[in-house]
Structure 1
């Protein structure tokens, strides 16, 4: 007489070891994340953004470290001004990296929410997402390192202190280079893990798109408080400098105030866009206006990310414009000549960042909203109507945040230079030119994503 094997509870069996035949986390991530299982664009787009982010961060960091190695008589002034440029650029660059980590988040959330509904544990979902995002980030960062090395000779042609700086001066070293790559991967992993909270809590709500992102009032209030504190600090700059002494103290106070003001834009922007979209929704009389307002209200934070780079550049343009006017009053002084050169480089880096951010984000937005565009197309909505709605959905926030950021920049600069330098011809010309270039970049990005929308409408199941 045979004795029956003892009964093992299912939970105990499941926790004892991985069941035979069950794929590992790495294999499961590859099966669901490889280009044949999802559009290659959902992997290439964030990879491109990470590559550009890494290259720009390394170039900016290389310039700052170069100035801190100088031993010339005015080295301390160059070092302080480099910190001011770093404060104006580092927050937008990190924001671009964070946006890259969230590109095509809706598609990833859909796939992972489906796995949760099929029985996958939250731990499996988290590990899969962090692994996929980190691998994409590392691959993009390594491409960014190559791009940084390729750009070093070109940037090395720029003149400071009466001579070309040279490519070798921009080399950050292997240690900082490795730290930047690790930081990019960590940023991607953290952004991915934070974005998974909704999937872990309510996979059905995410899968059926019932969990619309909320934009509360705490963030904009905190942003306003930060701006008021920065304005107060700039008003007290003279007293602070007189007590602490030295131009270095003044520059570091300036860098801190402008840096926190740029960060505050990320807190105020989504709320302002939501208010604007609500007004647009109440007054909408055409299908284009209605669709655009609804699209913005679906996720004001996503609408902000589409134009946040241009908002940062508008702020930098006002500060740079007044700096050009200020430096123009001292023609012939080598320091002021180099100051103008640094201002131009800061704006160039800002526009490269904007071009990357807008182009990648616009293409990702088409993929994220593919179900809406396909549904409108199947219902018979003309393609020009869809394009007009998509253009309004982008351009309205762009105009709002560009104007608001410029006004904020003017408010913060006013205690330092007064109204005369803000509205000086050189300053206004630089600000107006920055606006025109930024809006042109947005328009070109929208035009360049038309083929992506065409493919979505033609083959919705393949993207």
Structure 2
């Protein structure tokens, strides 16, 4: 083993400047894929952490003796929701909710840090007057996000607030046994969406990470084939391949983990559920980092070994640069089978089934991709009218797997873009809602409401419609007067808060807004993978064929023809495979569509596709100087 490692290290170091460049390309690919993989996994765990932080708001209902009674309602300030949790102890020594040192006594209110700061900034009659005596700040354990506005109000068990049924979106009074509750329905919805988003990000990353092991594959195959021809055993060849891949991948995985740790504070600013994240929620546990540091080198090592069959079985064929056997149509049959399964799922299907179907669609596209690229190459070569078209077509036919690695990132990202483009909703789907007319349900005195508003110097028209008090403030009402009116009406109807139609739609609108934000994040990650993959694999492809390029240049082929051939062998499959993957993604999204494609979804899709394709072409163009460099000297390299 020590001899194998020593020889592997010598071959790595002795590969020359361009050989080391190939190693650095693999290292960079692993760094980026590891960092983004940690982000995808950590985002999923962060939603789980948020669900745990908010579980106490959905406590365990008491079947017998209860320790407390709890109810919630929504209040609003500056168009921002405030969650008000009302509590009353039913027994002495009742356990305190998470984030509080003791159970709040009657008349005492505990505020989240963000709400306490806001109450100090705004005039008292706009916010602070709604709360009684402030006992202190809620701890991080009680909050879903740092900027969350939460108030925990202590009441007497017989308070009128516990005798009314709450409005939609609030929790009616419940006798509870403990605060060890379950995640709320909203939290579960976010967890499910996060799982689907993770799959959409992780699968392209795994494909990219596996492809990293196959960078500069031709250089390594020829080198290992030469060792095989001079007497190296298959075991020694496999050992050197695994050792080289694992050494580079482990170093890249460590660097990628450090990169993610440094980027976590910036990633925590991505708004979701109404605010940023606790940085600690986005930092994965040590066991997750250890698993990634183990899994990434293992994946890269296995991917490297997969390509050894040609070297071990027929080293002479590799040395002679024989074209490998053509791939079979069964790859396309696998893709068709995966797509047949899609109409069988719907929004009512379990998340697990949806994730499995999406994962199979991803893998089927990756499996069928090389076969389709080979078909594209045959058609291109047959219909070629210029030299660069012929060269590009023959290259696609000669090694469709290598050509697929260059465009696979875009193809898989196209699937993500097509899938999410149809499912990117907008809060506009909820329509326009009134924002200048407060409503307060309950047996409320119109006279008392008018007196309170007059005392607060708020001009309004007050009337009753059935069991609801309507306070019309006029279309030009300012936020200051609106919040002053809310504060003036606070406590007038126990257990309820004055709100507008726009306020009541905020909770539902927040989910739609977050889905749109998540769509942009997933697409950004996917296109970053695609652009990086295209740039790295294009440079790797030039290094793999540097001697061929140099000999063609020596034979009189203009550099411009070689460069146009290099661009064509990327652009042709890029357009066809990218467009086809977008169509497949849209097909897979149809069972889950909300209400037809909205304008925002279409704009998001077109923008991401345009930026992604432009980024891929720009990344590929960066290898032009490398092409010029490798054609200057056709002599064999040290590796």
Tell me, in whole angstroms, the C-alpha distance in 2 between the residues paired with 1:90 and 1:133: 21
Select the residue among 321, 334, 349 that pairs with 2:510. 334
- Asked whether 1:68 is paired with 2:48, we answer yes
- Asked whether 1:372 is paired with 2:472, we answer no
Query: Greater helix share, 1 or 2?
Result: 1
What is the 5 A alignment of 1:51-62? 51-62=31-42
Tell me, in whole angstroms, the C-alpha distance in 1 between the residues paired with 2:428 and 2:377: 41
Aligned to 1:293: 393
Task: Summarize deviations over 1:66-118 as a string: whole Å, max 9, x none.
Answer: 11122333211111100110121111010000100110111111111101111
- Asked whether 1:350 is paired with 2:329, we answer no
Note the aligned Cα RMSD (angstroms): 1.9
- Asked whether 1:256 is paired with 2:432, we answer no
Query: Greater strand share, 1 or 2?
Result: 2
Contact 1:224 1:268 in 2 (8 A): no
Aligned to 1:246: none
Tell me, in whole angstroms, the C-alpha distance in 2 between the residues paired with 1:256 and 1:326: 27
Task: Summarize deviations over 1:374-428 as a string: whole Å, max 9, x none.
Answer: 121011111111111111110000000111011111212223328x724x42222
- Asked whether 1:232 is paired with 2:232, we answer no
Select the residue among 199, 209, 212 that pairs with 2:324. 212
Contact 1:314 1:434 in 2 (8 A): no
Change (3 A) 1:205 1:36: closer
- Asked whether 1:276 is paired with 2:388, we answer no
Contact 2:246 2:298 in 1 (8 A): yes
Q: Which has the larger radius of gyration?
A: 2
Tell me, in whole angstroms, the C-alpha distance in 2 between the residues paired with 1:106 and 1:313: 26
Change (3 A) 1:308 1:327: farther
- Asked whether 1:448 is paired with 2:631, we answer no
For residue 328 of structure 1, report the CA deviation from its aligned partner.
4.4
SS in 2 for 1:159: coil
Change (3 A) 1:329 1:255: farther
Change (3 A) 1:163 1:427: closer
Unaligned runs of 5+ in 1: 1-17, 242-248
Tell me, in whole angstroms, the C-alpha distance in 2 between the residues paired with 1:36 and 1:103: 14
Unaligned runs of 5+ in 2: 55-183, 432-505
Contact 1:96 1:309 in 2 (8 A): yes
Tell me, in whole angstroms, the C-alpha distance in 1 between the residues paired with 2:610 and 2:412: 15
Tell me, in whole angstroms, the C-alpha distance in 1 between the residues paired with 2:413 and 2:583: 12
SS in 2 for 1:421: coil
- Asked whether 1:93 is paired with 2:93, we answer no
For residue 169 of structure 1, report the CA deviation from its aligned partner.
1.2
How many pairs align?
428
Tell me, in whole angstroms, the C-alpha distance in 2 between the residues paired with 1:180 and 1:213: 35
TM-score (norm 2): 0.65
For residue 37 of structure 1, report the CA deviation from its aligned partner.
4.5
Tell me, in whole angstroms, the C-alpha distance in 1 between the residues paired with 2:370 and 2:323: 17
SS in 1 for 2:222: helix
Task: Summarize deviations over 1:249-306 as a string: whole Å, max 9, x none.
Answer: 5443333322221221112222222222211111111111100100111111211111
Change (3 A) 1:330 1:349: farther
Contact 1:31 1:37 in 2 (8 A): no
Aligned to 1:421: 596
- Asked whether 1:320 is paired with 2:400, we answer no
Change (3 A) 1:328 1:41: farther
Contact 1:113 1:199 in 2 (8 A): yes
Aligned to 1:245: none
Task: Summarize deviations over 1:20-48 as a string: whole Å, max 9, x none.
Answer: xxx81121111112155562112100110
Tell me, in whole angstroms, the C-alpha distance in 1 between the residues paired with 2:427 and 2:367: 32
SS in 2 for 1:322: helix
Aligned to 1:385: 561
What is the 5 A alignment of 1:392-407? 392-407=568-583
Tell me, in whole angstroms, the C-alpha distance in 1 between the residues paired with 2:343 and 2:289: 37
Tell me, in whole angstroms, the C-alpha distance in 2 between the residues paired with 1:211 and 1:400: 24
Aligned to 2:80: none
Change (3 A) 1:221 1:327: farther
Tell me, in whole angstroms, the C-alpha distance in 2 between the residues paired with 1:124 and 1:68: 45
Aligned to 2:609: 435
Tell me, in whole angstroms, the C-alpha distance in 2 between the residues paired with 1:327 and 1:143: 40
- Asked whether 1:134 is paired with 2:246, we answer yes
Contact 1:327 1:339 in 2 (8 A): no
Aligned to 2:121: none
Aligned to 1:153: 265
